């Protein structure tokens, strides 16, 4: 079974390929099929993920999966949320992982509350008009480290400090991160849903 991933993010592709491997599905990016990214005008992860999955399924004629994920900072009332990927641009920086980390550290300067959550919402559709989308959410509580630590992962991994591990996500091996991350948890739940509802092995 071929499944189109509604993303261009190489990090997401790698993590989801590993998570979905037991299902025997071939995960391909919409980019590799010449499909443009869908607009993401909504204010919640689930609405954006559903919009992206429907767009990819309609354009490809294949079942689709989409992830909308973001960082929710306690000190900023849950922001940046769905605008996480572009957070740094509102402060005059070019869009990049490094600049997003920089912007978060600058915005939390002076804040004693460094609590955060990484949230991933995965949506899977059998076809564009599927009335019963599968939805899986993964949420991980963390703290924002004072400075980046570690060389693995992507996005905010270098500053996502996991107190019970006494490490950032960027210090974990990829397999350990996948088992504990917001996207890893959502993917585990999605695999179970696909087995239950789609009859995948």
Alpha-carbon span 45 to 108, nearest angstrom: 23
Contact predicate 3/63, CB 8 Å:
yes
Could you tell me what percent of the chain has a pLDDT over 90?
79
Q: Where does the chain show beta strands of DSSP type E?
A: 2-5, 26-29, 64-73, 115-125, 134-144, 160-162, 167-168
Tens digit of each residue's pLDDT (9 = 90 or more) over 22-40: 998 999 999 999 999 998 8
Q: What dotted CATH number matches 2-198?
A: 3.90.950.10
> Which pLDDT tens digit goes with each residue over 139-187?
999 999 999 999 988 889 999 999 989 999 999 988 888 888 898 899 9
- The strands making up 2-5's β-sheet, listed across from edge to edge, are 26-29, 2-5, 64-73, 115-125, 134-144, 160-162, 167-168
Q: Where are the domains of the chain?
A: 2-198
**Tens digits of per-residue pLDDT, 107-138?**
999 899 999 999 999 999 999 999 999 999 99
User: What per-residue confidence (pLDDT) applies to 83?
Assistant: 93
What kind and span of H or E run contains 18?
A: helix 10-20
Angle between helices 10-20 and 182-198 (to 10 degrees): 50
Radius of gyration, alpha carbons of the chain:
17
For residue 104, the surrounding DSSP H or E stretch is: helix 97-107
What's the pLDDT score for residue 102? 96
Which of 31, 36, 67, 68 is catalytic? The answer is: 68
For residues 26 and 3, the answer to whether their CB atoms sit within 8 Å is yes
Active site residue 157: no
């Amino acid at each position: 079974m071929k499944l189109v991933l509604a993303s261009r993010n190489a990090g997401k592709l790698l993590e989801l390929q590993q998570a979905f491997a037991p299902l025997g599905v071939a995960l391909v990016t919409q980019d590799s099929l010449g499909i443009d990214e869908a607009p993401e005008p909504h204010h919640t992860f689930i609405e954006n993920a559903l919009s992206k999955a429907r767009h990819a399924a309609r354009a490809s004629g294949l079942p689709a999966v989409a992830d909308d994920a973001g960082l929710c900072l306690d000190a900023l009332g849950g922001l940046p949320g769905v605008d996480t990927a572009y957070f740094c641009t509102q402060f005059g920086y070019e869009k990049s992982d490094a600049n997003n980390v920089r912007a978060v550290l600058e915005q939390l300067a002076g804040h004693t509350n460094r609590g955060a959550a990484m949230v991933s919402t995965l949506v899977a559709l059998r076809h564009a008009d599927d009335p019963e989308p599968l939805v899986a959410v993964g949420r991980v509580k963390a703290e924002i480290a004072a400075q980046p630590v570690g060389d693995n992962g992507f996005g905010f991994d270098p500053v996502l400090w996991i107190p019970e591990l006494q490490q950032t996500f960027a210090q974990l091996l990829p397999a350990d991160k996948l088992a504990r991350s917001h996207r890893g948890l959502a993917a585990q739940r999605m695999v179970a849903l696909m087995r239950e509802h789609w009859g995948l092995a």
